[in-house]
Structure 1
Amino acid sequence: MQIRDLPYSDPGTPDVRSGLRLLLWLGRKQWGGQLKALGWGVLQLASIASFPAVAGLAVTAVVHRSGSDLALAGVAMAVVTVAVTVGDTMLHRVAVTNWITAAARIQQLLARRTAALGATLTRRVAAGEVVAVSTGDIERIGWCVEAVSRFSAALLTTLGVCAALVAYQPQLGLLACAGMLALALTVLPLLPKATRRAEAQRERAGRATELAADTVAGLRVLRGIGGEDLFLTRYRQASQQVRHAAVRTARMWSFIEALQVALPGLLLVGVVWYGTRLALDGHIAVGELVMVYGAISFLLLPLQLFGEFAMSYSFSRPSAARAARVLGLRRPGEEPGAQADDEQRAAASYGAGPREGLYDPLTGLHAPAARLTAVVCGDPDAAGRLAERLGGHPASAADAPAVGAEAVGAEAVGAATAGVATAGAPDGNASAGQQADASVPPSVLLNGVPLDTLPLEEARAAVLVQDKDPVLLSGTLGELLNVPSSGRIGAAEALNAAQCTDVLGALVQGTPDAAGDPMRARITERGRSLSGGQRQRLALARSLITDPEVLVVDEPTSAVDSHTEARIARELAELRAGRTTVVFSSSPLLLDRADRVVFVPGAAVAATGTHRQLLRSDPAYRAVVTREPQHHADASREQVRARTNQRDQRAQTHQRAQTEGVESA
């Protein structure tokens, strides 16, 4: 794999059982590149190790006054020099290629996993953690993959040099081998402590990154309440904790590196002292002493490579563990056998459901095809979770604490069964055994087909969810609206429907180089230069341009005034005519435009009808929509019940009078 061939057409399926297994999987995926790097590394180090032997031949030639031997030594020195140059150049080239391709593979896998998980990702992993994994952790993982080949080459070369020393000069060779073993035994016990310090530094850095991201995202609110100093103090404290952790880690590694310099130096002094005595006693020649000295000096280079690999592994192992944790997250439909289980639960436990439109077996919510359905929830957070479910982002059992207890469990299943009966689904009463088997919520059905059984691309193209806090990417307005679409709705039509006239004027005014063209006007990161209502309307225009088969929007007009909201409600109903649209809102202006209103106060559908019908018939619905206090709602409920009882009594009296009249006749 070459850098020019990136990105991968298929990055593969990683082994995410642990960080070590992920690193081993990366090594196997780059087997060819690792072997190339190993070959060039052995050539480079073996050539460097040959310098002492060539130098020894030159010294011996000078002592013996042999010109031919000296010339031969010069030629050998030139060959070794060329070999070192070629080996070093190619090793660097191949090693960097391994580094970049490994990092790119992990980056591509993370991007795919992020796209697959969607909004559920940040509920299971902090946003700062995801950013840290996709930036610093990827570099550390690539560093370790790149260092493996050089470490392997250094290990092979070291074994070869030690074996040659033992064969050539047994006494000096055994002394050198014993010294190298003592060095390894001295440094190795320090590595676990260095790894723990590196992991602590990484955790503190992740928390600081998350705090910084949250602060920047809420900067407008912080300025409004005067909370900049408070959050600045928090970030300073987090930053100081990162600095202290980094200093502790650096101290440990500086101590390890100091040992790698001091101990080999002492070993070299001992070998030279002992070798000099052997030379003075006539046991070895001067050239042989130079050769042994050069070989011992060479062994300092592999020791540095060993230390570099130990450092890269210590830093990359916790990074790989975090990357494996993110890559190991799965949507319920992606787990082995989950698709079949979802289909069986949807068909057996909850009935087949309506065959047209969008249907949620868990709550009984049905959005008929080609209709505008408004959904009213008592809890805004529950509305957001339900909107995510309708988009094919169901919460697994592992997510239950984060998404609300009503989403899973026997009580939710029982409530969902009641909701199905309310929606008119067949087979509304599921057996107790079937309810107990539902460990995760069933998939939402699109035209009778579970969304989890569809390929991810098809599901995302069919159902688009716009949450209550949409993200606007930086760039021009034209780039923001350049999204995959059916082509039925143009940018001007969508912007007009979303009532973006004042937004376009503000963007043009804030971008002097746009030359009056709104499409060339620039949008800052996350649209922070715009108000909340302006961001909402631009996001709505972007969703309308996409023109999906099913559009789910959560509170699309919560930050706009009532006049603008009324116009958006009218234009939305007209523009989405013939398409399935689900709007989560409690605004009467939007609800009155809906073809159908569904009231979901808890875990299941409680009532269905038009807005005006539900206002008259359901006090709880009226309390949510009109913001009526709960005691007023209870009083209204009692009044409705009293009026109903009076009407029933009058009907019974009238019927009894008619019966008595007939008997008298």
Structure 2
Amino acid sequence: MRFSPAGEPGVPDSRSATRYLIWLAARHKLLFSAGLLLGVTWMVAQALMPAAVGRAVDGLSRRDSDALLTWGLVLLGLGVLQAVAGILRHQCAVRNWLAAAYRTVQLTVATANRLGAALPRRVATGEVVSIGTSDIEQIGHAIDITARGTGALVAIATVAVILLDASMPLGLVVVLGVPVLMAVVGLLIRPLHRQQHAYRDAEGALTTRAGDIVSGLRVLRGVGGEPVLSARYRDESQALRTHGVRVARVQALLEAAQVLLPGAFLVLVTWLGARFALAGQISAGQLVAFYGYTAFLVSPLRQLTEAVDKLTRGHVAARRVVRLLQLTPELVDPARSATVPDGPGELVDVESGVRVPPGRFTALAAAVPEDAVAIVDRLGRYTDSDATLHGVPLRELALATVRERVLVADNDARLFTGQLRAELDPHGAADDAALDAALRAASASDIVDALPDGLDSLVAERGREFSGGQQQRLRLARALVADPETLLLVEPTSAVDAHTEARIAARLGVARDGRTTLVCTTSPLLLGHADHVIFVEDGKVVAEGSHADLHDTEPRYRSTVSRGED
């Protein structure tokens, strides 16, 4: 199984967050390797500076001007090298951060598209949002810190070799002291990891709760449930704050340890170096160099602890991303896709007995609305079934083929942010005449006319500036602009007034003349304009005919479309 945007090498089929981070780094081998090399150069240049200063001090004490000049120039060269390597390393770090973070976004979006309608049932909304707002940042930091962490390790090894060569006791203090310091700091990493994991879970749950409240705010106010949900959100928010305080407490201890322990180490090495200098075991220049090394070691030690911290955070985030990427869609393409004849064909739902004739305007009325939705899901292959097109089972066709030839437009569809023209015609294939015709058929021309820039106006998130009925008409116009071979509409006029519904009913059949159309509705206005009406009860077809004939001869149909009133 592979998870990747089109044209990208796939992520290995592994549940390992570590392997995912390695995979991200491998996507940009040259950039990542350059970052490592520059990180090592940047840190080693700093590590060699105390040695150059010590040699210059020894030259000064011997009144050797040539040595002083030579080591002064070496110090200048190291400073220039450090500055250049630092600038280039930072550029590589930013690019590595962006590459890792936004490749994760690409994979997440590709997975969301691949899962399709199954995504909301498989993953909470807050989990997906948190990946895009929080986890990508931690993953980017994990890739970025690798260069500095590697440079810090090489710099510490360089310093250890120099100190061991100059003074075995002082060298051993550094060689043995650094692992001890890292071990002490490492004791704080595990509780930090645990607290971060709990905080991330609570954050995702709270984001999901907030999304649910906002999307259902109108309904909550109607039933008086707003105070209850607000209180629940407040409690969960306080619980998240508690988790955040716990993370901050461990983080504060880690930050304090990063300052205190290297500082104590600096004092120890300086004291030992001064005693050796007084005893004549090391020169004044070497004492200065030792002091410089111990002061310098504060930086790589902090880099290492920061690396452990960020890699831990990145690992937590990557684990959640991998969990999402490992989700499989409910429907998959067959191993070998069948072929289906060109042109409109009869669409059949074997389970219910619904047969949608090609090129006609058909209406489906169900005694229970959920039955109509289930039938449309099967005909659109959003659930696995024995439904057929041209006599070929849909499960034997590639999903892309089914989506291209059969379009399902229901009231769960959303309006997205952007220009209205692009919202109605995402592929940019329709001209103004086609857009105007679709808007007129959906009785949505007045919506566009009221906008300041017409079709060039910007749509807010989820089209919140439009009422429910206006959004429904714009969604219908979008489906008509697509002009699919077969269009399945689910209650396309449930949120509009009677006058608007009458206009849509009169125009819809004309707009879809010669194209296969199925409208699931119990509206007499729409049913009266249909070429053929199918009545379903208990999930099975029980009657077919015109609206007038069924209304006169089928009491159950009459009761359904008249809402129980004669």
For the aligned residue pairs, the C-alpha RMSD in angstroms reads 3.1
The alignment-based identity, stated in percent, is: 39
Aligned match for 2:437, one of 484, 488, 493: 493
Q: Secondary structure at the match of 1:299?
A: helix
Q: TM-score w.r.t. structure 2 length?
A: 0.90
Give yes or no for contact 1:333–1:339 (8 Å, CA) kept in 2. Answer: no
Q: TM-score w.r.t. structure 1 length?
A: 0.77
Question: Matches of 1:327 and 1:171 in 2, distance apart?
Answer: 52
Question: Matches of 2:171 and 2:199 in 1, distance apart?
Answer: 41
Structure-2 residue corresponding to 1:650: none
Q: Secondary structure at the match of 1:265?
A: helix
Give yes or no for contact 1:494–1:545 (8 Å, CA) kept in 2. Answer: yes
Give yes or no for contact 2:334–2:397 (8 Å, CA) kept in 1. Answer: no
Answering whether residue 530 of structure 2 is matched by residue 594 of structure 1, we say yes
Q: Secondary structure at the match of 1:340?
A: coil
> Deviation at 1:617?
6.1
TM alignment of 1:70-89, pairs within 5 A: 70-89=68-87
> Deviation at 1:313?
2.1
Structure-2 residue corresponding to 1:651: none
Question: Matches of 1:383 and 1:453 in 2, distance apart?
Answer: 23
Q: Secondary structure at the match of 1:375?
A: strand
Aligned match for 1:207, one of 202, 205, 211: 205
Question: Matches of 2:545 and 2:181 in 1, distance apart?
Answer: 80
Give yes or no for contact 1:44–1:84 (8 Å, CA) kept in 2. Answer: yes
> Deviation at 1:53?
0.5
> Deviation at 1:380?
3.5
- Describe the superposition over 1:462-511 as per-residue Cα deviations: whole angstroms up to 9, x where unpaired: 33222213322244433432333764871211111111244345x33xxx
Question: Matches of 2:503 and 2:182 in 1, distance apart?
Answer: 76
**Where in structure 2 are there 5+ consecutive unaligned residues?**
none
Question: Matches of 2:524 and 2:500 in 1, distance apart?
Answer: 13
Q: Secondary structure at the match of 1:376?
A: strand
Question: Matches of 2:287 and 2:397 in 1, distance apart?
Answer: 74
Aligned match for 2:9, one of 9, 12, 18: 12
Question: Matches of 1:228 and 1:484 in 2, distance apart?
Answer: 40
> Deviation at 1:307?
1.8
Distance 1:502 1:474, change over 3 A: same
Answering whether residue 365 of structure 2 is matched by residue 376 of structure 1, we say yes
Q: Secondary structure at the match of 2:517?
A: strand
Aligned match for 1:152, one of 150, 153, 171: 150
Give yes or no for contact 1:117–1:393 (8 Å, CA) kept in 2. Answer: no
Distance 1:9 1:72, change over 3 A: farther
> Deviation at 1:594?
2.8
The one-letter code sitting in structure 1 at the alignment partner of 2:447 is V
Question: Matches of 1:199 and 1:180 in 2, distance apart?
Answer: 28
Question: Matches of 1:233 and 1:627 in 2, distance apart?
Answer: 38
The one-letter code sitting in structure 2 at the alignment partner of 1:138 is I
TM alignment of 1:189-268, pairs within 5 A: 189-224=187-222, 228-268=226-266
Question: Matches of 1:327 and 1:341 in 2, distance apart?
Answer: 25
Question: Matches of 2:60 and 2:543 in 1, distance apart?
Answer: 104
> Deviation at 1:69?
0.5
Structure-2 residue corresponding to 1:525: 461
Question: Matches of 2:221 and 2:325 in 1, distance apart?
Answer: 37
Structure-2 residue corresponding to 1:412: none
> Deviation at 1:366?
3.3
Give yes or no for contact 1:194–1:252 (8 Å, CA) kept in 2. Answer: yes
> Deviation at 1:364?
4.7
Give yes or no for contact 1:470–1:536 (8 Å, CA) kept in 2. Answer: no
Structure-1 residue corresponding to 2:334: 339
**Where in structure 1 are there 5+ consecutive unaligned residues?**
1-6, 395-440, 509-513, 633-665
Aligned length in residues: 560
Give yes or no for contact 1:374–1:597 (8 Å, CA) kept in 2. Answer: yes
Answering whether residue 253 of structure 2 is matched by residue 317 of structure 1, we say no
TM alignment of 1:159-198, pairs within 5 A: 159-198=157-196
The one-letter code sitting in structure 1 at the alignment partner of 2:468 is G
The one-letter code sitting in structure 1 at the alignment partner of 2:442 is A
Question: Matches of 2:19 and 2:198 in 1, distance apart?
Answer: 21
- Describe the superposition over 1:508-544 as per-residue Cα deviations: whole angstroms up to 9, x where unpaired: 3xxxxx2xx5334454332323321121111111111
Question: Matches of 1:443 and 1:117 in 2, distance apart?
Answer: 21
Answering whether residue 535 of structure 2 is matched by residue 538 of structure 1, we say no
Structure-1 residue corresponding to 2:285: 287
Question: Matches of 1:139 and 1:362 in 2, distance apart?
Answer: 48
Question: Matches of 1:445 and 1:563 in 2, distance apart?
Answer: 37
Distance 1:591 1:326, change over 3 A: farther
> Deviation at 1:608?
4.7
Aligned match for 2:563, one of 621, 627, 631: 627
Give yes or no for contact 1:331–1:393 (8 Å, CA) kept in 2. Answer: no
Q: Secondary structure at the match of 2:335?
A: helix
The one-letter code sitting in structure 2 at the alignment partner of 1:358 is L
Distance 1:550 1:90, change over 3 A: same
Give yes or no for contact 2:21–2:143 (8 Å, CA) kept in 1. Answer: yes
Structure-1 residue corresponding to 2:513: 577
> Deviation at 1:121?
1.0
